[in-house]
A = this chain, B = another copy of it.
Amino acid sequence: MSLFVQKYGGTSVGSFDRIEAVADGIARTVREGHRTVVVLSAMAGETNRLLELASLVSAKPDQRELDMLVSTGEQISIALMAMALHKRGVAAVSLLGFQVGIETDGHHGRAEIQNVDRRRLQECLDAGQVPIVAGFQGLSARGEVTTLGRGGSDTTAVALAAALQADECQIFTDVEGVYTTDPRIEPKARKMDHITFEEMLELASLGAKVLQMRSVEFAGRHRVPLRVLSSFKEGEGTLIDYDGRCHSGHRVTGIAYSREEASLTLAGLVDQPGVAAALFSPLADAKIAVDMIVQAAAGEGRVDLTFTVPRGDLALARSVIEPLMANFGARELIETSDICKVSVVGASMTHHTEVAKQMFEVLGREGIKIHLIATSEIKISVAIDEKYLELAVRSLHSSFGLGED
């Protein structure tokens, strides 16, 4: 008898047919003798409907009040699911975040879970009940309703799995698992049976939007075995675990990408200690997510410093940086929008050089210019013109032998 936490996202409970189908799946798990905790998102479209209501009342609604408003979405899902399970003879009990002791910090709209009081859940499980928990929400120490930000239901599921030491946290989505790359770009993309936590983290953060990145980090910290699987189609999905072995047999696990990037280059900075800190502190204060950072010597004791930001933050980043240029003797500020990032990810990428060589060769052969290169232990990322994104993903996917067969 295992203990599973099952999370179903918005499209999985997006219609009455879907609710019935998911209820069938939960009932099956229960009949197989497993203890089960369910976490639900709002029905697809509901959160947007609620945000639309808010926008009709206020151009700048308060974040605390938005949390109060949108947290109703999950409340509706759990009540309806409990009813659907009762119909199947399953003793289900819907529970809100505060009722299962999900305590968060006070950051409305992007709260972080601080603590989970497992008592109520344990009581339900001991009584043979299936707790149906509202994802995405919690209560701050001050007693305020908070939400965890978009995709936060994944984090709820992982947090409950950690608190209950569940055997598996199963994230049911509209895809069959984690793929070697985005199947919408490369139809030959292959579903992986296993992936390491580190690889998943890189894939999630690089734009393979199967799981919310925070939930993967949370799972990693608490070593919660995560499984991504489809709520529409039977299958084993992809298990994310922690042993670090090379499951795939390939050096490279997957090709990730991120659209709508932009870069700023400060040309001819005087090369002196403290320059980077002086530039990046105000960017951090402005909540701009700087991603790739590259510095290269420009001769004469000067350096060129380039970094990427989400395209939507480009104008803000420029306005932060421009007033500082004179302080550091920068000669020019060069801006590139219309770029994207493509990354080759692999936990067993022991020979960076070889993978890098192959990656650059493939891109060169296709005539794709590389603007920036950044590496970490398990990935190599390049910034290229966004118009080449699909071509680059497909070429790399094929070259590293990731496709089916």
Report copies per complex: 2
Do A84 and B72 touch (CB < 8 A)?
no
11 contacts between A and B (CB under 8 A): A54-B80, A57-B80, A57-B87, A61-B86, A64-B93, A65-B94, A68-B82, A69-B75, A72-B72, A75-B75, A98-B98
Q: Which secondary structure characterizes the binding site on chain A?
A: helix
CB distance from A84 to the nearest CB of B (A): 5
A216 adjacent to chain B (CB < 8 Å): no
> Which residues of the other chain, B, contact A61 by a CB distance below 8 angstroms?
83, 86
A58: contacting residue among B58, B84, B120, B145, CB under 8 A = B84
A115 adjacent to chain B (CB < 8 Å): no
Q: Mark A25-57, 1 if CB is under 8 A from B, else 0.
A: 000000000000000000000000010011011
> Which of A's residues lie within 8 Å of B, judged by CB?
16, 19-20, 50, 53-54, 56-58, 61-62, 64-66, 68-69, 71-72, 75-76, 78-80, 82-84, 86-87, 93-94, 96, 98-99, 120, 143, 145
> Which residues of the other chain, B, contact A99 by a CB distance below 8 angstroms?
143, 145
Do A62 and B83 touch (CB < 8 A)?
yes
> Which residues of the other chain, B, contact A71 by a CB distance below 8 angstroms?
75
Alpha-carbon gap, A76 to B42, bound state (A)? 14
A16: contacting residue among B56, B66, B76, B83, CB under 8 A = B56
